[in-house]
Amino acid sequence: MTVVKPKMANRCINQERITLMNSVVKPSKMPRPVSFASLDQSDLKIAVQSALAAAFCLGLPTGLFFWLITLQKSAPSPEVDRLVTFFSRNLVPPILLGRIGAFVWGLLLSKISGYRQWWWPALASLAGFWLGDSVLYRGWLPEGLPALFPGGLAPPLQFGIVLAMTVLSVTVCAGVLLGFTLLSWKASLMLAVTTGSAATLAAVITLMILHGLGVQVGGGNAAMPKATAVATMAAALAGGVVLAVVFSRYVRTGSSDQNVISDQTSTTGG
């Protein structure tokens, strides 16, 4: 029978405690989950950068023609008249400008988020914009509303529904396709829901505020161009900020479905 000395026994117990603690605090190889509870300093920097990028790449190109009409009504001049005529003949509806802006926005998004393969976000943004605006410019939405409401809708309400649904369609399509660049269906769902909700809510709230201030579509005084320009800019700012922050968090954490599957396989020894 072996007798263990008290000092030796205490040493063995301490070693076992250290081994147990190391196993408890050992970091997991699984990717960190994406948290949306709060904004840190990097998120605020991304929000500011993405707001500027969204304003110049999304809000301005899609609403430029309407800004020019608003300027033409408020401060008419021969130069503005020539610009409005040029846009009316060549760039209306503003599909081309919007698609170019979406492509550039994708490039800037890759720089802001740190996503190295810049061409994927650029192509995904371009394709999302193209798919989304098809709802409006191919006539599905404007022709579908009268069929749903045979009695007709008030001009402000009909305009608000068309604009809100177009914003929702564009942002959801862009969010889904940008999630595919992250190889994650969860990212696609999260980007579509958060970006679509933020952009559409911003557009609707902006239209309600303008309506309360007297800018009522159908009431003359270039109300529709004003409402379109301002609401489009608000939607671009809100949607662009939310999309960039969420997208950047996925890029930082590496939370793609492919990474999760490979980590689980290596952990189980499969």
Q: What is the pLDDT of residues 56-65, one digit of tens each?
A: 999 998 888 8
CA dihedral 103, 108, 110, 111 (to 10 degrees): 150
Instruction: State yes or no: pLDDT of 4 exceeds 50.
Output: no
Domain assignment of residue 268, yes or no = no
Mean pLDDT check: name the lowest of 32-36, 133-137, 147-151: 32-36
Domain assignment of residue 205, yes or no = yes
**Total residue length of the chain:** 270
**Nearest in space to 98 (alpha carbons), one of 192, 167, 179:** 167
Domain assignment of residue 16, yes or no = no
The listed range with the strongest mean pLDDT (75-79, 214-218, 244-248) is 244-248
Amino acid identity at 210? L
Instruction: Read off the tokens for 227.
Output: 């409402």
Confidence (pLDDT) at 201: 97
Domain assignment of residue 19, yes or no = no
Domain assignment of residue 136, yes or no = yes
The domain of 190 spans 41-256
Total structural domains in the chain?
1
**Nearest in space to 254 (alpha carbons), one of 36, 31, 46, 37:** 31
